[in-house]
Amino acid sequence: MTKRSVIKFGGTSVADFTKLRNIGRYLKDRTEKGEQLVVVVSAMGKTTDELLNNVKQLTAKPNDQDLALLLTTGEQQTISYLSIILKEMDVPTQAMTGFQAGIKTKGHHLKSKILNIDEQKFEKAFETCDIVVVAGFQGMNERGEITTLGRGGSDTTAVAIAAALDVSCEIYTDVAGVYGTDPRIYPAKRLDYVSYEEMMEMSALGAGVLETRSIEIAKNYHIPIYLGQTLSDEKGTWIMAQEEILEKKAVTGVALDKNMDYVTVSYPMNDADLLKKLFQLLEEEEVNIDMISQIVNMDGLQISFTMKDTDFNQINKIFTMLKSDYPSMNFIIQEDYVKVSVIGSGMRDMSGVASKVFMTLLNHHIPFYQVTTSEISISYVVDCQNGSLAVEKLCSVFEL
């Protein structure tokens, strides 16, 4: 049986025609060794940013459906160029948009979720082609409208296709795998293996290596992911089930999330209806919040939470609606905080991790304003100027 793989290349890997031609030669070599490949690509370089900047010149409040339609053109350019290059190299290739690849979605136009993928589209294409090039980041909803999958959506596209075809997934970018933390902050070691759970925590807490949903799909369908540097011989990182990894460390990584806002809501009464309405609107607008804390005292109600800065417009919309019903409500959205998180599956079985983290921050005079924990992580909100220092000191104390 012919070996099949799903391979994904990020935006920096396909940033110009020279890089695309080099990728084309690499893919051709693999097909000549008997493989059939699904290649998922992102938009070239800063194309998406350029499209968003164009929109800003037209309006401050674009329609979400129109914006999704525009943003998906970036990936469609890449699949067209790569398909042209491969055919010029005499490699039988078919390019597909998300719709043509049978990627059905639901939810918000700009951050929809994949419902299912029609694997027969790929089976049909492989009858005449060695490579199917698919536009990442996009799909089509039940109303026939083009949608995007949100930040990191091409990772999700690649892993979802791998799950549909029951094959492994390789994701190539400009870094040589997963490190204990961002190498630009601290020279942490590269990890040979990391569990799905640890990778999901690292991604959700700001590590920025892979999109959280892509790892969740891989975990649910037992799809191993290889993360490596594009066209490099340097060894990368395998992301797989914890039981397949022999070594279990107390702490695997430290993540720094700069792409978050810290929100504080205050109201002079303890009003459960206000909270109900707030969380109802958060659900309707599909805003994910984290690190929630609530205080009730003589001054009334105060609730604080963190959220992704990409949801800034939605949260402003929510508070505008709430303010009309609750005029005494006040809210502050602060952008001068970051989230520092310590992650490791070994926390389940090894004591002393939390106390070591607290003491490290205290010993280096790093104040923190909110703390939350999961089974395998501890997260802190700290001042922007202390974020990198906290990462350095935590990596050092846990020998990452």
Residues 34-80: tens digit of each pLDDT: 999 999 999 999 999 999 999 999 998 899 999 999 999 999 999 99
DSSP state for residue 174 in the 8-state scheme: S
User: Is 160 domain-assigned?
Assistant: yes
CA distance 400 to 394: 9
Range of the domain at 158: 3-174
Residue range 211-239: mean pLDDT, rounded: 93
The answer on pLDDT for 169 being more than 90 is: yes
- Confidence tier at 259 by pLDDT (50, 70, 90): confident
Pick 330 or 93 by higher pLDDT: 93
Return all residues near 96 (Cβ < 8 A) that are at least 6 apart.
79, 121, 125, 132, 133, 134, 135
pLDDT at 1: 67
- Contact status, residue 209 vs residue 226, Cβ threshold 8 Å: no
User: Is 220 domain-assigned?
Assistant: no
pLDDT at 183: 83
- Contact status, residue 17 vs residue 81, Cβ threshold 8 Å: yes
User: Is 30 domain-assigned?
Assistant: yes
The answer on pLDDT for 353 being more than 70 is: yes
| Structure confidence by residue, pLDDT tens digits, 381-398 | 999 999 999 999 999 999
User: Is 10 domain-assigned?
Assistant: yes
Phi-psi region for residue 291, left (φ > 0), alpha (ψ -120 to 50) or beta? left
The answer on pLDDT for 29 being more than 90 is: yes
Question: Chain-centre distance of CA 259, in angstroms?
Answer: 12
The answer on pLDDT for 204 being more than 80 is: no
Residue range 165-188: mean pLDDT, rounded: 90
- Look up the CATH number of the domain holding residue 42: 3.40.1160.10
Nearest to 67, CA basis, from 148, 140, 131, 12: 148
The answer on pLDDT for 248 being more than 80 is: no
| Structure confidence by residue, pLDDT tens digits, 307-338 | 888 888 888 889 888 988 888 888 888 888 89
CA distance 14 to 207: 22
- Contact status, residue 388 vs residue 185, Cβ threshold 8 Å: yes
| Amino acid letter, residue 316 | N
- For the chain, what is the domain count? 1
pTM of the model: 0.80
User: Is 38 domain-assigned?
Assistant: yes
- Confidence tier at 270 by pLDDT (50, 70, 90): confident
User: Is 168 domain-assigned?
Assistant: yes
How many CB atoms are located within 10 Å of the residue 112 CB?
Answer: 25
H or E stretch at 54: helix 47-56
pLDDT at 114: 96
pLDDT at 196: 92
pLDDT at 93: 97
pLDDT at 247: 65
CA distance 374 to 254: 14
Residue whose entry in the numeric block shows the structure tokens 């949260």: 315
Residue range 206-226: mean pLDDT, rounded: 88
User: Is 348 domain-assigned?
Assistant: no
DSSP state for residue 189 in the 8-state scheme: P
User: Is 278 domain-assigned?
Assistant: no
H or E stretch at 193: strand 193-195
pLDDT at 219: 94
Which residue blocks in 285-344 are alpha helix, DSSP H?
A: 312-325
